[in-house]
């Protein structure tokens, strides 16, 4: 902890991150199963609190996959604002549809 209390050390870490260094937390190591392990998500519409890319990264970090189209293999459709035709297709196929708030609740429950 003392290392991170030093401003120069924090600045050095920030420069490394900006240079492309990828940091992981200890929780990401050692075979930990993510809460979305084995689940496939599709995202439609605009998310308010994050970009689709950020949502995709979180899903993948938690063991899930993100598809670009709703298929029989889709477990969840995350529906943001102004969802497109994926929403209708998911309804027709009986895919579980969750809003952005429910997505965050799932994350909080890990």
Q: What is the DSSP string of 20-66?
A: T-----GGGSSSPPPTTTT-EEEEESB-SSS-HHHHHHHHHHTT-EE
pLDDT(69) > 90: yes
Domain boundary assignment for the chain:
30-108
Q: In the CATH hierarchy, which top-level class contains the domain 30-108? A: alpha beta
Work out the number of other CB atoms within 10 angstroms of the CB of residue 42: 24
CA distance 41 to 66: 5
Does the reported pTM lie above 0.75? Answer: no
pLDDT in tens, 80-107: 999 989 999 999 999 999 999 999 999 8
Given pLDDT bands bounded at 50, 70 and 90, which one contains residue 79? very high
């Amino acid at each position: 902890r003392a290392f991170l209390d030093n401003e120069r050390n924090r600045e050095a870490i920030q420069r490394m991150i900006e240079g492309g260094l990828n940091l992981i937390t200890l929780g990401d190591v050692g075979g930990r199963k993510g809460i979305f392990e084995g689940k496939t998500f599709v995202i439609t519409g605009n998310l308010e609190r994050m970009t689709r890319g950020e949502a995709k990264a979180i899903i993948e970090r938690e063991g899930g996959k993100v598809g670009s189209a709703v298929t029989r293999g889709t477990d969840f459709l995350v529906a943001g604002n102004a969802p497109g035709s994926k929403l209708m297709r998911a309804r027709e196929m009986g895919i579980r549809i969750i809003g952005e708030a429910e997505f965050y609740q799932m994350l909080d429950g890990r």
